[in-house]
Amino acid sequence: MKKLFMSALLGVSVSVFSANAFSFSIPSIKDFEQPKTPKIKEPEERVLPPEIKNPKDKDKKEDDRRILIKFKENAPYDLIKEILTDLGIDVEKYFKFIDVFVLKLPEGLPTEEAIKLLKDLDFVEYVEPDILFKLSAKKNPNDTYYERQWGLNNSYDTDIDAPEGWAKETGSKDIIIAIIDTGVDYNHEDLKDNIWKNSKECSGRAGVDDDGNGYVDDCYGWNALNDNGNPKDDNGHGTHVAGIAAAVGNNGKGIAGVSWHSKILPLKFMDSNGQGRLSDAIECMEYIVNNVRKGENIKIANASWGGYQTSSALKDAIKKLKEQDILFVAAAGNDKNNNDERPYYPASFDLANIISVAATDKNDNLADFSNYGKNTVDVAAPGAEIISTYPGNKYRYMSGTSMSTPHVSGLAALIWSQNKGYSYYDVKSIIESKGDKLSSLSGLIRTESRINVDKSLAKKEEEENPPNNPNPPEEEIKEADIRVKPESYDYGKVKIGDEDTNKFTITNIGDETLKLYSLYIDGTDAKEFKIVSNTCSTDLDPGKSCYVSIEFAPKDAGVKKADFIIKSNDPDEGLKKVPLKGEGVEEKSGFFDFFFFPALPFKFF
């Protein structure tokens, strides 16, 4: 094995050099001592009623012997298999959408040592620990009957002007907010009518993947922590976050979410102690991507959690959400930390679809716990003493950037409800540019603003031509205007005999009806691509969208290219071409069959 491993380190053929020529050696597993791994302190914000505590939950440790690894293109999988086998390392999961493996280390091999051994291999792109994330909430008095949602509206005007905004838009059931958290109490009286449901699974057979999305019994979402379809909240944090974003409004009970009608997709990766692993968070994001490709209109991912350790795999996963036009709303953190100097992830990743959120208090000051950053934190929202839903039809108030973050997610849902053709960038730009500038935030966050619902939902014509403008713009010629998202798509590598599907959104951003004359696939490899679903009719009214899902199913190896063609009455783009690309690949030397077992409760995409 020494010879094999050293040859891998040097990136040369095993038959050329012998490891005996070098002055160092690779220790065996028995040479490693069992690592001493102290327990991570339980988050101080936890307010957990004893009736929902799971007695099986245990504190996670920083080193629970799991790492994430991504190999470079054309990596020698036969050699990799031998190296991992010799070290006693198993492959636990594979995330196809970012091409990353989760490896389980043997008892005697510490995480740091395993990373050190693997990171210098010539064919490894990156390797990193399966880091632990914690919630971004703070502890508050246990006042169940606190009934004031000051952050939405108050007499001293330190709120986000929600009632004024609701006069224009209260939210659409067509917009889905993914809550990546401790799960959600999907039976809560003030949430159940807004919970996303997978109808085929809810009415299907137990233990069967009725809708073919690769997940069994995922009626209400997904539990990545336990790999099952029950994302029930056993902590309270996720339910609280979900209520802020989209509790049912105007129903005579409980509270009102920022968006009254948008759907909540519960995704659980954290346990009852408010701790969660990187790999489980990524699994939740993979679930989002796979369901968007199947036609679900998930537009926002809420992340009210984070930590100070970076991750290439997590960044890759959020990039994949960006490719699906999803806004990633992330908590800035609760340590009074300057994120410019000490980044807090995922909020501090330099990705265009991330909006990082700080917290304000009742006086419109930065909350005394909130992280900040003139260059890395984007906006602020109310986050101190926020009342919201809690498991068991209860209501409690909590504080933290965990609470400010779903205010922004709910606002994003309102903007998309009013303007379904907008991209994530459009929505992010509105949120950032239409807030209330506060002197208390000057020099602390990038926009120096706390969000404002009313201003963000102002009509376009009101913005461009206010009543007192002495020189109104000339009336524009009305016409249809097509927009397709994504504008091109690369399916990446797909195994011969398998298929991958992506959803395309066609929107009429013009002022007249868009007539769609025909939709089809054209090009040299057109037979490798197929339209598998289509919600578009002949006429598409202004501001409306429809969806087309296209499948790539390679029949042989090689790069395949084609165009998705849309013929319409758009005066500028009557023949719209959307480039499609994918590569058919043969199975990698039995590597996957060797490590993966059919007993796993999900299929790999």
Active site residue 237: yes
Q: Please pick, among 159, 185, 188, 237, the residue that the annotation labels catalytic.
A: 237
DSSP 28-79: PGGGSPPP--PBPPPPTT----GGG--TT----BS-SSEEEEEEPTT--HHH
Rounded alpha-carbon distances, angstroms, from residue 230 to 233, 234, 494: 9, 11, 30
Distance CA 561, CA 525 (A): 6
Q: Which amino acid is at 4?
A: L
User: Which residues, 6+ apart, have CB-to-CB distance to 199 below 8 Å?
Assistant: none
Distance CA 514, CA 217 (A): 39
Residue 239 exposed, middle or buried by CB count within 10 Å (0-12, 13-18, 19+)? buried
CB distance 73 to 492 below 8 Å = no
User: Which residues, 6+ apart, have CB-to-CB distance to 31 below 8 Å?
Assistant: none
Q: Please pick, among 304, 311, 402, 456, the residue that the annotation labels catalytic.
A: 402
Phi-psi region of 214 (alpha: psi -120 to 50; beta: other; left: phi over 0): left
Distance of CA 533 to the CA centre of its chain: 24
- What Rg value do the Cα atoms of the chain yield, rounded? 25
Assigned token pair, 226: 């336990």
CB distance 235 to 272 below 8 Å = yes
CB count in 10 Å sphere of residue 9: 15
Assigned token pair, 198: 């997978």
User: Which residues, 6+ apart, have CB-to-CB distance to 283 below 8 Å?
Assistant: 93, 95, 222, 224, 269
Q: Nearest CA to 376 among 359, 409, 351, 412?
A: 351
Distance CA 328, CA 110 (A): 33
Active site residue 423: no
Assigned token pair, 21: 């020529």
Active site residue 188: no
Distance CA 185, CA 125 (A): 39
CB distance 329 to 409 below 8 Å = yes
Q: Please pick, among 63, 159, 161, 181, the residue that the annotation labels catalytic.
A: 181
The residue to which tokens 């010799």 are assigned: 86
The residues annotated with a catalytic role in the active site are: 181, 237, 402
